[in-house]
Amino acid sequence: MPYNLDLPEAFNAADYFVDRNVREGRGEKVAVLCEERQFTYRQIQEGVNRFGNALLSLDVRMEERVALLLLDTEIYPQAFFGAIKIGAVPVCLNTMNRSPDFQFYLNDSRARILVVDEQLLPLIEPIRGNLRFLKQIIVANGSDPDGDVCLTELLSEQSAELETAPTCRDDSCFWLYSSGSTGSPKGTVHLQHDMVYSAKTYAAKILAIRENDVFFSAAKLFFAYGLGNGLYFPFDVGATAVYLPQRPTPAHVYATVNRHKPTLFFGVPTLYGQMLEEEGTMDGVRLCVSAGEALPAAYLRRWKERFQLDILDGIGSTEMVHIFISNRPGEIVPGSSGKIVPGYEARIVDENMHDLPVGEIGTLLVKGDSAAALYWNKHEKTRQTIMGHWINTGDKYTCDELGYFCCAGRTDDMLKVGGIWVSPNEVESCLIEHPAVLECAVIGAPDEENLIKPMAFVVLNKQHSPSEAMEHQLKEYVKANLALYKYPRWIRFIDELPKTATGKIKRFELRDLIKTQTGPL
């Protein structure tokens, strides 16, 4: 069922998500709660305007990229929508990445400005000299930065009035980087209307979001998932968003729920699992959502027993901006991703793109007007994924006669770990740099809760032999060089990797190997 948004051609997402709330009389409504601070829609609007003016004063123009390396605080909506309001394009960066990753993002996007939390600035220091296009670093939530601009000072000099740039509904709006199994991450370009589409379909029809809802997303704003949950869903209906700047540990999350009493809670399966192990309450929450990877049925059951609350599992992607297949309240099928969200269409196809009969496993294609327009400067990858109206998710799925979709793995080797992509290739390339490693292969293996984590098979060179110390050393080596969540949780030393006649590693044999083994991994 296609859904017609009916947006005027002249359209700016910042005007829609921020200024409209003030125009419609919600200026004094609390938009953001963060720790002990609260901000009304009027205050956020003023911040957006000041931020937009600050960018203009730094000579930022329409369509130029502004990179955001920010924790979840009230700065996020101001910087994000401030950039959008002048027609510039925010690029939301994952704060868990490492310096070389940021060098890539900043050079690939050619961002002119980077807005970075003072706490995260050390990630940028080592690469400062290698940023070819960056003109200015603006430091948020800090004071008196050396040689950079302090955001608070910059904003204080700016007017709180700002004219909206004359963007249209199909202008570039924001980017998110998405990683693939090979090659560099892809700058995924979203348009001005995409967030509205997702808010009017998934958020309105499945979550039935209301002005009196209070949204709390443990998944951070720099993920497509968190950006909807914590920013443009609440702002679509003039509701309140709760931000947690710290790591979403069960203790922080429970404390935030207690303090701010959200009505909607968003997490990833790993977090639900961790929260089930800890003391805490979810009082005031009406509905919980899970995405990023499949939610184990056991978590759903235990959560319901403990809190009398449902968790709606749904599949979304960076390319589709948010969730397009989801369970609904009262119609949950544990272990399934649910049914198509109104406004989206799905197909399951074979390798020739022919539709498969009900019940057969195939590649999941999805159609809906929140789809990204392209991958920046990656023409071939764009064509492989964005096939006209249809997006190839790279997921293997089945669909039953009732329309419930069930995930059956990936068409590539990519792993979802704690809801975030890990490329086995990237972990292998890192391990092989270690002087003791001759060869290696990384696959996904289930942990004790049946959630996937990276496992490495390692062939050591002649000078080294397997030991616990070596295992520890290799794990630490990956931790030091890649984002923490990417390190192999288990390392198996073997004499030789199984290979095809052409020398490709037979990953399926490694997967079979761990399946047939009993006992702890």
* Residues whose CB falls within 8 Å of the CB of residue 385, separated by 6 or more in sequence, listed in order: 319, 375, 391, 392, 394
Residue choice 77, 314, 368, 444 for contact with ligand 3UK (CB under 6 A): 314
222 near ligand 3UK, rule: CB under 6 A:
no
Of 85-93, 118-126, 286-294, 484-492, the window that binds ligand 3UK (rule: CB under 6 A) is 286-294
Contact 313, 327 (CB under 8 A): yes
386 near ligand 3UK, rule: CB under 6 A:
no
Question: Alpha-carbon distance 521 to 512, whole Å?
Answer: 13
Question: Alpha-carbon distance 229 to 244, whole Å?
Answer: 13
Question: Alpha-carbon distance 306 to 320, whole Å?
Answer: 33
Of 108-116, 117-125, 312-320, 443-451, the window that binds ligand 3UK (rule: CB under 6 A) is 312-320
Rg, Å, the chain Cα set: 23
Residue choice 141, 167, 178, 363 for contact with ligand 3UK (CB under 6 A): 178
Residue 267's beta-bridge partner residues? 290
Question: Alpha-carbon distance 124 to 97, whole Å?
Answer: 11
Q: Among all residues, whose Cβ is closest to ligand 3UK?
A: 316
CB of 134 to ligand 3UK, least distance (A): 26
398 near ligand 3UK, rule: CB under 6 A:
no
Q: Is 467 exposed, middle or buried (0-12, 13-18, 19+ CB in 10 A)?
A: exposed
Question: Mapping DSSP to helix (H, G, I), strand (E, B) and coil, where does residue 138 land?
Answer: strand
Of 64-72, 127-135, 159-167, 307-315, the window that binds ligand 3UK (rule: CB under 6 A) is 307-315
* Residues whose CB falls within 8 Å of the CB of residue 296, separated by 6 or more in sequence, listed in order: 269, 273, 335, 449, 450, 451
* Contact mark string toward ligand 3UK, 321..350, x via CB under 6 A: -xx-------------x-------------
311 near ligand 3UK, rule: CB under 6 A:
no
315 near ligand 3UK, rule: CB under 6 A:
yes
* Contact mark string toward ligand 3UK, 415..454, x via CB under 6 A: -x----x---------------------------------
19 near ligand 3UK, rule: CB under 6 A:
no
CB of 202 to ligand 3UK, least distance (A): 9
The CA distances from residue 244 to 36, 177, 307, 371, in Å, are 11, 22, 22, 28
Tokens standing for residue 422: 């890990």
Rounded to 5 degrees, what are φ and ψ at 11?
Answer: -150, 135
Of 36-44, 80-88, 390-398, 429-437, the window that binds ligand 3UK (rule: CB under 6 A) is 390-398
Residue 298 half-sphere exposure toward CB, CA atoms < 13 A: 8
294 near ligand 3UK, rule: CB under 6 A:
yes
293 near ligand 3UK, rule: CB under 6 A:
yes
Residue choice 224, 253, 311, 422 for contact with ligand 3UK (CB under 6 A): 224
CB of 291 to ligand 3UK, least distance (A): 4
Identify which of residues 224 and 341 has a Cβ nearer to ligand 3UK in the complex. Answer: 224
Q: How many CB atoms lie within 10 A of CB 130?
A: 13
* Residues whose CB falls within 8 Å of the CB of residue 237, separated by 6 or more in sequence, listed in order: 199, 209, 210, 211, 213
CB of 369 to ligand 3UK, least distance (A): 16
292 near ligand 3UK, rule: CB under 6 A:
yes
Given the rule CB under 6 A, which residues bind ligand 3UK?
178, 224-225, 291-294, 313-318, 322-323, 337, 393-395, 407, 416, 421
